[in-house]
Amino acid sequence: MSSGEEQIRQTQHAFLVAWGRFAVAIGLIQGIRAVELKQKTYHHAPQTKILEYLVATLSGLEQLQDISLSAHPLDKDQAVAEAWGQPAWADYTGVSRTMRSLTCEEAHQLVGVLEQVGQPFLEAELKRLRAEHKRFRLDGDLTGLPVSNTSRTFPHAAFGHMDDEIRLGYQASVVSLEGPTYGRLWLSVAHHPGDTVSCTQAEAQVLAAETRMGLRPRRRTELLRKRIQAFEKSLAQVEQRRQAQEKQVEAARQAQEGARGQVEVRARQLRDLEQAYQARQRAERPSSHLAQARKRLQTAERRSKGRDQACQQAQQRLTKTQSRLAELHADLAHLQKRLACFEQDNAANPTPVEAEFRLDAGFGTYENIALLIEMGYEVYTKPHSHQVVRHLCGQTNEQTVWTRVGQNAEMVAWSNLLLKGCPYPLDVALERFYTGKTLKHGALLHFGSDPVTQDLSAWFEEYNGRQTIEAGIKESKQVFYLHHIKVRSEPAIYLQEQFVVFAANFIRWATPWLAQQTEPAENTLKVDKLGVKRQVQVAAHVSAQVIRNSEGWLLRFSDQSAFSGQVLNLRDGTHCPV
């Protein structure tokens, strides 16, 4: 680097400087600046404070006030501000006011910029997967973001299951893609109240992932047509039952009317006899006509009561069948609408992709599984109901041959098993785990072309590969503090969630760009050897000299830093390796 007209500054946040130059290179700063925010500018533009919030997210600040009150305040680091193209940073209170004043429309526009900036990286990853003829592997999950149970200031927070407890807060629905270049990339995150449950989010997750990728598998319309045909037969049977029950109700009503008429006749006969006996002053004897008439009336009343009950029961059966029939007609209309939509999808999708979706048991309802199958995915999941595990346990005995698939795990499997309530046959496996003296059981479900029942170890490993999204959720909370809600308005909370998943992607995109910056040398920092956690918790908080000249920026890490004696070159105008 030439020494002409050098400008030297000190920073306590070295990698925030480096990431700022990357943000310039990919057009992130320009995109944020272009969003119109209906807020006044005093000392700092609102777009500057939005960028500052993003930078605070990248640095892994636990609380918003840490921008100004930490040991090395971000808002006092002029080198970072300049690297991000800003004249200076605002106090954390100003950032808080700007975030609180955001509208939903403005938040969505800002998220649109994040997606636009990240699209080239995602498309390059998808292109590489297709070139290598690899299947797209998607993982979905729902993670709780609890707040204080006594809080009343978080909008639309609700009580739900979070961290094995009932907590007040929110749920974030997330989808990730596993790729060859960056490992895990987040595709989407959706904000929900805390009482949202996983089984309601499967379709939304798939559609969000497909929208983000701009790609989808071929829909299995042939399976859906057969399902509709079977559904129509079932519906016809219910319709026949309804017609028969209508006749039964009519017959029961006629019998009821006949019984009531007989009660009236016998009651009239009894009254006439009573009057005759009174006129003649005759006593009623046990075997007299009057006593017999009274018994006949009582018998008729009992019969009428029985006819009333029979009529009521027949009507209840008919009402239940009518209700079931209405549900079936609605379900059939839904499936027919789905078929029409999927046929249009296939017609507009000349180059479908091969993709799989891995979900945990919370999503594993039969309707969700059927939907994913019909949408064209290879499905790996667990059953939503534990009744499946009990049923499978009943299918084993002492002679059952178990296959060891892990250090303390064994499996036995059945192929093309039709479970009650599921419209399609599935590959089903029963797992058993030894935890000390305790034996636990679980189940796996699969649909697709993979011969999973022939290699149970591979099936076990493939499903448990979804730990990548669980690790991503752990990273989002322990590195970027997703679960610490730093703002109190709905648009700002939504933007915080989007910033966290973007930050995780951003660092993965930036790593090869930073590694490309300098020519190999002994004192060059090996960025590609640093994981996301170390970059955020260490590299973003080390001290360095920031040397600027006409060629670009140079970070020379201080002797008091973890990277003492090493440098990182940031050449202006360097092509981004997408």
Tens of pLDDT, residues 45-65 = 999 999 999 999 999 999 999
Residues 6+ apart with CB under 8 A from 463: 358, 380, 381, 382, 444, 446
Cα separation, 566 vs 557, whole angstroms: 6
Summarised one tens digit per residue, pLDDT across range 359-388 is 999 999 999 999 999 999 999 999 999 999
> What is the CB-side half-sphere exposure of residue 11 using CA atoms within 13 A?
32
Strands (E), 361-461: 378-381, 403-404, 409-417, 426-435, 438-447
Instruction: Please give the average per-residue pLDDT across 509-533, as a whole number.
Output: 87
Instruction: Please give the average per-residue pLDDT across 320-328, as a whole number.
Output: 94
Which phi and psi angles does 469 have, rounded to 5°? -75, -30
Residue 552's pLDDT is 85
Residue 274's pLDDT is 86
Residue 361 tokens read as: 């048991």
Residue 40's pLDDT is 85
- Pair 87, 150: CB distance under 8 Å: no
Residue 297 tokens read as: 């009336």
User: For residue 571, what pLDDT band results from cuts at 50, 70 and 90?
Assistant: confident
Residue 2's pLDDT is 47
User: For residue 1, what pLDDT band results from cuts at 50, 70 and 90?
Assistant: very low
Residue 571 tokens read as: 């050449």
**198 pLDDT higher than 50:** yes
Residue 570's pLDDT is 87
- Pair 35, 106: CB distance under 8 Å: yes
Strand partners, 380: 358, 446
What's the distance, Cα to Cα, between the start and end of the chain in Å? 25
Residue 575's pLDDT is 57
Domain assignments of the chain as residue spans, ordered by start? 225-332, 381-465
Summarised one tens digit per residue, pLDDT across range 89-112 is 999 999 999 999 999 999 999 999
Output the CA–CA distances (angstroms, integers) from residue 131 to 124, 125, 196, in the order listed. Answer: 10, 10, 38
Output the CA–CA distances (angstroms, integers) from residue 455 to 253, 404, 459, in the order listed. Answer: 62, 11, 6
Residues 6+ apart with CB under 8 A from 237: none
Q: What percent of the chain has pLDDT over 90?
A: 87
- Pair 188, 205: CB distance under 8 Å: yes
Cα separation, 103 vs 90, whole angstroms: 20
Residue 321 tokens read as: 């069948």
Residue 468 tokens read as: 């990548």
Residue 576's pLDDT is 62
Residues 6+ apart with CB under 8 A from 567: 518, 521, 523, 524, 525, 554, 555, 556, 557
- Pair 132, 442: CB distance under 8 Å: no
Instruction: Please give the average per-residue pLDDT across 467-495, as a whole number.
Output: 94
User: For residue 500, what pLDDT band results from cuts at 50, 70 and 90?
Assistant: very high
User: For residue 507, what pLDDT band results from cuts at 50, 70 and 90?
Assistant: very high
Q: Which amino acid is at 467?
A: Q
